Amino acid sequence: MAVYRIGEILRMKREALGISREKLCEMSGEICSPQTLYRIECGKVKVKRETYQQLMSCMGQLPERSYASIIVPKNQYLSIKSDIYDHLVFGEFEKAEEKLLLLEQMMDRSYPRNRQYLMKYKATLAYKLNKIDAEEYQRILVEALRCTIPQWDEIDMAEWPYNEQEMEIIFDILHTYHALNLDEKYLDACLKLKMNIERHYMDDDYYVTWKNTVHAIISWIISNRHQYEQSIEYCENGIEQLKKYRIVGNVNRLVYDIFWCTRQKYIESNLPEKEQAPCNRQLAQAYYLSVAQNLQSQSEFIRKKVKQFDIKELFFL
């Protein structure tokens, strides 16, 4: 679970809603002074639980200090949540549905984050099974976000602090833009999300992981526009960040994108095939990383690319 900077979250939500410190303190019954609120937002003093809850409630936000995702009676049931995610990754949709039903029976649906979680995963399963189209999937995801962000239609995506669950939903919404051929909107939303993540209101692991996820998407979009050098720069910066924090993350995808952009540059410059071999080694690295992470769909994707490009140097495939 991510660790969030509580003061920064208070400040971002207050500013996104256009509320001054003086006004928020007045709305909260003057539970603290504007000067104290300033010190809380800057991380100079720790916020008391009751102060935090009252300030959040005055802004119409859920007041949990833990900023948790879902609530179930016993903590061990949270492992079911992990199982559901894994089943989706490996395309085991029937198993995911079974676990989701089991988890739903343990949940209090009146709790907004529980309701949001169920909406997101039920819609995702329906979309994966082709029971709904991308437009309907996007509509449900937006409704899910409104469970915890009622002001979703009014706020700037770049300015609002999100928790893990909300961020997962936003990434799913981004992918629907591509499915609906809304690539300009796709890129614009990604750039806004990049600005948001760079506010760094969560701990380093999540900051780096989220930032590299959005970087990988932006890199892919601009590479399709033949902006290969810029795309490679995004990928290389992402890999350096992952190395620095010792996070595996999207490194396999970033390495593959470097391969693809480099190869396209060679093709467009009419470089002889034999001089393209160094870039083929990047494809091998991407393959090994996918295998090491047990990412079956991605390693199979690379196998197909090897056959498509007829790269004979990679005998291991």
51 within domain boundaries:
yes
89 within domain boundaries:
yes
187 within domain boundaries:
no
Q: What averages of pLDDT result for each successive group of 10 residues across the chain (317 residues)?
A: 73 87 88 88 84 85 56 66 85 92 88 92 95 97 94 90 92 95 94 92 84 90 92 91 83 89 86 71 83 79 74 55
34: containing domain = 6-58
302 within domain boundaries:
yes
Residue of 270, 271, 306, 309 whose CA lies nearest to 285: 306
> What pLDDT does residue 273 have?
66
64 within domain boundaries:
no
Task: Identify the CATH number of the domain in which residue 22 sits.
Answer: 1.10.260
Distance CA 271, CA 73 (A): 62
> What pLDDT does residue 227 have?
93
- Regarding whether 242 and 156 lie in a shared domain, the answer is no
- Regarding whether 40 and 111 lie in a shared domain, the answer is no
Total tally of structural domains belonging to the chain: 3
- Regarding whether 305 and 222 lie in a shared domain, the answer is yes
Dihedral sign, Cα of residue 192, residue 196, residue 199, residue 203 = negative
pTM reported for the whole predicted model: 0.79
- Regarding whether 115 and 50 lie in a shared domain, the answer is no
- Regarding whether 21 and 89 lie in a shared domain, the answer is no
- Regarding whether 52 and 76 lie in a shared domain, the answer is no
- Regarding whether 75 and 44 lie in a shared domain, the answer is no
192 within domain boundaries:
no
> What pLDDT does residue 274 have?
67
> What pLDDT does residue 312 have?
58
- The b-or-e profile of 161-170 (16+ CB within 10 A means b, else e) is bbbbbbbbbb
Work out the percent of the chain whose per-residue pLDDT is above 90.
Answer: 35
299 within domain boundaries:
yes
Tracing tokens 């614009």 back to the chain, one arrives at 188
Domain boundary at 165, 197, 230, which?
165
> What pLDDT does residue 66 have?
45
Q: What are the angstrom distances between the C-alpha of 313 and each of 98, 219, 274?
A: 44, 27, 10
- Regarding whether 103 and 21 lie in a shared domain, the answer is no
